[in-house]
């Protein structure tokens, strides 16, 4: 059960998510560890790597995810808000 639904990510959590490959196992483990749903963790990966119109209305979340990519030096997917 997800206990942190709707709560902001704690400092460093987005970086932890993005530092691991988006595999099914990693998504399941991160969801348990961070007390989030698998869907919530998957959304972070979608915003970080896929681009497109997904999440266009969630600008604050998109900004935080894109900012988390910078210190990890992730070079694929969207690099700025479009």
Domain-located, residue 82 = no
Given its phi and psi angles, is residue 9 left (phi above 0), alpha (psi -120 to 50 degrees) or beta?
beta
> Residue 64 is encoded by which pair of tokens?
């935080």
Domain-located, residue 1 = no
Domain-located, residue 54 = yes
Domain-located, residue 8 = no
Domain-located, residue 50 = yes
pLDDT digits (tens, 9 = 90+) for 8-60: 999 999 999 999 999 999 999 999 999 999 999 999 999 999 876 665 677 88
Domain-located, residue 41 = yes
Number of domains in the chain: 1
pTM for the whole structure: 0.83
Using alpha carbons only, how large is the chain's radius of gyration in Å?
12
Element spanning 68, H or E: helix 59-72
Enclosing domain of residue 56: 13-72
């Amino acid at each position: 059960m997800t206990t942190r639904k709707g709560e902001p990510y704690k400092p460093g959590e987005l970086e932890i998510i993005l530092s691991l490959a988006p595999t099914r196992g990693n998504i399941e483990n991160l969801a348990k560890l961070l007390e989030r749903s698998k869907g919530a963790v998957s959304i972070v990966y979608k915003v970080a790597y896929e681009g497109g119109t997904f999440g266009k209305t969630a600008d604050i979340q998109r900004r935080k995810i894109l900012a988390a990519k910078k210190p990890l030096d992730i070079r694929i997917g969207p690099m700025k808000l479009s």
